Structure 1
Amino acid sequence: MFELLPSNIDSVDNSTSGPMFELVIILLPVMWPSLFILSNETVNMWSHLLGFLLFFLLGAYNMAAVLPAIGASREDFVIYCICIFCFQLCMLCSVGYHVFCCHRSEKTSRRWMALDYAGMSIGILGCYVPGVFYAFYCNNYWRQVYLLAVLALMLAVFFAQIHPLYLSQPWRKLRSFIVCSLAAYGLLPTMHWVWISGGFSSEPTQLFLPRVLGMYLLAALAFLFYFSKVPERYFPGQLNYLGSSHQVWHVLLVLMFYWWHQTCNLIMAYRHSQPCPGAPQQA
């Protein structure tokens, strides 16, 4: 039965019952009902659909209550909107891919796969913008340098993603390398921030470096599950509906974005309570 599947269906894990479900819904003209059918994609779809709802509600609450309470400026609102919108878009792109990846049209399936990869890059952008903005809040030069560097990286990734071979099987390792490199780049501004903040003993470093490292720990765990295909590679056929590596990747991604969202709120409040050195004091 599996050999009857179109070539565009490429399972993200080692599940064995998922393609049976995919073979059925390929024949359906409307794909959205698959959200309500138990399959190896159910957790993948709902984890990020609920993730989108989480960030939507967080965004609405923070915009209405939290940011005004700490005296957020117009810049703060813009930076926060970029962050939360990127997280929401990442979640939606992922949901769309896992709903439509088994579409009968290979062209449609690949378009959603491309959107899924683009969504991951957008989610990383949502981490970088507030991180760089508040880390170099008191150093306008380096803030602009790193924001422009991040923008340049994103443009480079975009041009790579529109390459005709980007979604091909031979480029699979390169795709993974690009996403990992995009995430790992953040270690450079992090080390620079620690240095200009006065080293590891400074107050900002002691307050926020553990949270930065916590985010990278979650990211490392997520990528570890994503690439290793553990545990389903050791238990083939037993984790078709719950417990596969890709499902763990999804959950860790939501946790990482939530962790960073809360971190950005904390550092935003800190920047408003601790003015930059040499800044005029309010009477």
Structure 2
Amino acid sequence: MSTRSRASSAVSGNNVFVTLQDIQKESLFSKVHKRRRNSSITVTAVPNTFNKNNVKNNEIQIVNWDNLDEWQQDNEFIYDGYVKETSSVMGCIKSLNILHNESVNIWSHLVPSVIYLALLIGFTDFILEKKLIQILGAGHHLMDAMDYVMINIFLVGAFLCLFCSSCYHCFKQHSESVSVLWSKADYMGIIILISTSIISLLYYGFHDHLFLCKLFTIITTIFGATCCVFVLNDKFNHKDWKIVRASFFVLFAASGLLPIFTGFFVFGIENSIKRVQLLYVFFEAICYIAGALIYGFKIPECYFKPGKFDYFFNSHQIFHLCCVAGSVFHFRAVIASFVYAKTGIHSNSVFIF
């Protein structure tokens, strides 16, 4: 029910409400009902202006850009499919059952977050430890407390990042204040993922040089804390800062290059590649950088007439998929680095998951 001539639609029970942008005559501001015989569907024409108090019983109204409040107007190249401010938690949750322009953003991170939560619960005990026994034989107890911490800390970071992102895209249409709150949680999730990603690889890359491991961990923590202060500033959430936001997180992630170059100097290039599985780290970096650039410059929707990518394949959705792919590459790198640190085996045949 989304065309340029329609400003909005709402679905509640058996009623369908339609708002027309081109209603000019004052007489049409009174409700006009047209009921189909032998049907329970009711079509109601209402004025172009929308009062959120008219939405009752958690009704959900899908509107286009022109009928949004200013605080909801984020990407001018996405024209239709917006969920109008609901002022209702249940209304936001019910929007999960309706296709709108945040649907892909919600589910593309909600599903992987559940998978990471499942891995957090059972991966190290039921998969990784058994794989080590297959490699080295029974009687070897190579999983110590720090191994559990370093592997699971990344899984915690990945879960929190993706889950907070999913919640933000689900509840952002509640109200401006709730949107800002979840936006900050979203950014905090990104910071946590970057921090835990770097720290988890640092431990295995410098497992025999603990001073360097501690040094770079402290540096990463300082960078992460600085980012937290920055993103909690309300000005950072404004739409005009989109490119700055993307660049900021790219730079923070790029700080992970410092320990890599240090590893080249200390261990040599070949040994460093084995220690932190640089091939997968490279793929991870490509995913994150490409996703951030696509998101920041609104590619591809900025090159087409607004409305072309309202529901599928817009920049934010591509960014989400790149983030998920990057996290998978990093998980692969962490596990392979763990195996190499414990066994000295560096081979594609040692594929844990």
Q: Same fold (TM over 0.5)?
A: yes
Unpaired segments of 5 or more residues in structure 1?
276-283
Match in the other structure for 1:196 = 266
Match in the other structure for 1:140 = 210
1:230 correspondence with 2:338: no
* Contact 1:44 1:250 (8 Å CA) reproduced: yes
Take 2:234 and 2:106, find their aligned partners in 1: how far apart are those partners?
27
Counting only pairs closer than 5 Å after superposition, residues 260-275 of structure 1 correspond to structure 2 as 260-274=330-344
Match in the other structure for 1:106 = 176
1:26 correspondence with 2:86: yes
1:5 correspondence with 2:47: no
Take 1:225 and 1:175, find their aligned partners in 2: how far apart are those partners?
13
Match in the other structure for 2:79 = 16
| Gap change, CA 1:11 and 1:166, over 3 Å in 2 | closer
Match in the other structure for 2:116 = 55
* Contact 1:12 1:246 (8 Å CA) reproduced: no
Take 1:230 and 1:122, find their aligned partners in 2: how far apart are those partners?
26
Counting only pairs closer than 5 Å after superposition, residues 178-197 of structure 1 correspond to structure 2 as 178-197=248-267
SS where residue 233 of structure 1 aligns? helix
Question: What's the CA shift for 1:11?
Answer: 3.1
| Gap change, CA 1:197 and 1:258, over 3 Å in 2 | same
| Gap change, CA 1:228 and 1:162, over 3 Å in 2 | closer
For the aligned residues, what is the CA RMSD? 2.0
Give the number of the structure with larger relative contact order, counting CA–CA contacts within 8 Å between residues 6 or more apart. Answer: 1
SS where residue 129 of structure 1 aligns? helix
* Higher-strand-fraction structure: 2
SS where residue 191 of structure 1 aligns? helix
Match in the other structure for 1:211 = 280
- The equivalent position to 1:155 in structure 2, one of 212, 216, 225, is 225
- The equivalent position to 1:38 in structure 2, one of 99, 104, 119, is 99
Letter paired with 1:16: Y
* Higher-helix-fraction structure: 1
- The equivalent position to 1:89 in structure 2, one of 153, 160, 178, is 160
| Gap change, CA 1:239 and 1:152, over 3 Å in 2 | same
Question: What's the CA shift for 1:29?
Answer: 5.1
Unpaired segments of 5 or more residues in structure 2?
1-6, 8-64, 133-141, 346-353
Higher deviation after alignment, 89-98 or 220-229: 220-229
Higher deviation after alignment, 203-212 or 93-102: 203-212
What TM-score comes out, normalization by structure 1 length?
Answer: 0.88
Letter paired with 1:18: G
**Percent of aligned pairs with the same residue?**
24
* Contact 1:89 1:119 (8 Å CA) reproduced: yes
- The equivalent position to 2:144 in structure 1, one of 73, 83, 97, is 73
- The equivalent position to 2:289 in structure 1, one of 220, 229, 232, is 220
Match in the other structure for 2:195 = 125
Take 1:265 and 1:204, find their aligned partners in 2: how far apart are those partners?
15
* Contact 1:211 1:263 (8 Å CA) reproduced: yes
Take 1:29 and 1:78, find their aligned partners in 2: how far apart are those partners?
35
Letter paired with 1:55: Y
* Contact 1:197 1:205 (8 Å CA) reproduced: no
Take 2:158 and 2:226, find their aligned partners in 1: how far apart are those partners?
20
* Contact 1:218 1:252 (8 Å CA) reproduced: yes
Match in the other structure for 1:64 = 125
Deviations 1:112-158 (A, max 9, x none): 11111111111111211111111111101100000000111111111
Question: What's the CA shift for 1:227?
Answer: 1.4
- The equivalent position to 2:328 in structure 1, one of 258, 267, 271, is 258
Match in the other structure for 1:280 = none
* Contact 1:90 1:122 (8 Å CA) reproduced: yes
SS where residue 229 of structure 1 aligns? coil
What TM-score comes out, normalization by structure 2 length?
Answer: 0.71
Letter paired with 1:73: D
Question: What's the CA shift for 1:172?
Answer: 4.1
SS where residue 165 of structure 1 aligns? helix
Question: What's the CA shift for 1:5?
Answer: 2.1
Structure having the higher Rg: 2
* Contact 1:43 1:247 (8 Å CA) reproduced: yes
Take 1:13 and 1:222, find their aligned partners in 2: how far apart are those partners?
19
Letter paired with 1:75: M
SS where residue 240 of structure 1 aligns? coil
